[in-house]
Amino acid sequence: MTKRRAPKIPQTDAVGDETSTIGPERAAALLAAVSRQFDRLDASPLDPGLYLVSTPIGNLSDISIRALFVLTSADRVYCEDTRHSRKLFSAFDIGRKLETYHDFSGEADRERIMSALREGKAIALISDAGTPLIADPGYKLVRDAAAEGISVFPVPGASAILSALVASGLPTDRFFFGGFLPPKDGARLDVLEAVRTVPGTLVFYETPSRIGAALAAVETVYPERTLAVARELTKLHETIMKGTARELAASFEVDPPQGEIVLLIAPGEAATATEADIESALRAALKTARLKEAVEDVSKGLGVARKTAYNLALKIKGEAS
């Protein structure tokens, strides 16, 4: 098992540090360049539409110049929790009204935003952290805006999925994001099983209170695969641990993880088995094993979905009766 703790990541809770490690001249030149970019943006008003603005996932310095501009100049800014987003706004001296759009916002709240958009307003949407709509509210609003031909502008930036994936050392060419794993044991196992043949890295969001149960489920379904647990990305205690589910679980028993977590699972061997391969493996297995065991062995052995093996096993049983 490997554990990679990032060297101390500067946490910039406030901008405009007094000390400069790059030298005052370089710092002044950088600030002037940032200011020029801001002036360029400021030269023309925002087009009307819905702006999906990504905000940092921990380190406030990860905010983009364009995000700051849009959050300053949009007609309205909607966030999940005003107390949470106020901290971000305070750090950048943006003293403006924040309105809420969250998981419990309904049709009437959406309609209020839609009518402002129809009037030609520029509306910004942020979430507590990272990219809005990614395991965060906003999908229905974007769907409705797009359906009415209203412009929707992404203002890209931090996302825990991509940060974890690129730093994990697991394959990045293809990946599958599964959101949060379900909290119930059976549903969690079903979700993990359903993505067995995905030919890419599997990425899930997790919480410290559920990571133990999640690792136990991964050990059942993918005991041999390499996992990465990326924690507190961009923050002071950023850590990326790699190993099998069993190794990681043993380590977390001694030192329970805290903070925010992304769980990544390496892809399995490419599933190249044809239907004929699965059928012949099942026929062989069914000579000595019961249906459930035969399905289990063949799906694991050939890396194919349990459902595929199960349906074929039923067909074989049907022929025999």
**Applying CB under 6 A, which residues contact ligand SAM?**
57-58, 127, 129-131, 134-136, 159-161, 205-207, 230-235, 260-262
- Secondary structure of the chain in HEC code, one letter for each residue: CEEEECCCCCCCCCCCCCCCCCCHHHHHHHHHHHHHHHHHHHCCCCCCEEEEECECCCCHHHCCHHHHHHHHHCCEEEECCHHHHHHHHHHCCCCCCCEECCCCCCHHHHHHHHHHHHCCCEEEECCCCECCCCCCCCHHHHHHHHHCCCCEEEECCCCHHHHHHHHHCCCCCCEEEEEECCCCHHHHHHHHHHCCCCCCEEEEEECCCCHHHHHHHHHHHCCCCCEEEEECCCCCCCEEEEECHHHHHHHHHHCCCCCCEEEEECCCCCCCCCHHHHHHHHHHHHHHCCHHHHHHHHHHHHCCCHHHHHHHHHHHHHHHC
Residue number with the shortest CB distance to ligand SAM?
130
Q: How far is the CB of 132 from ligand SAM (least distance, A)?
A: 7
Q: Is the CB of 126 or the CB of 294 nearer to ligand SAM?
A: 126
Q: How far is the CB of 118 from ligand SAM (least distance, A)?
A: 27
Q: Is the CB of 74 or the CB of 262 nearer to ligand SAM?
A: 262
Q: How far is the CB of 162 from ligand SAM (least distance, A)?
A: 8
Q: Is the CB of 57 or the CB of 68 nearer to ligand SAM?
A: 57
Q: Is the CB of 138 or the CB of 267 nearer to ligand SAM?
A: 138
Q: How far is the CB of 75 from ligand SAM (least distance, A)?
A: 23
Q: Is the CB of 25 or the CB of 103 nearer to ligand SAM?
A: 103
Q: How far is the CB of 287 from ligand SAM (least distance, A)?
A: 46
Q: How far is the CB of 204 from ligand SAM (least distance, A)?
A: 8
Q: Is the CB of 38 or the CB of 180 nearer to ligand SAM?
A: 180
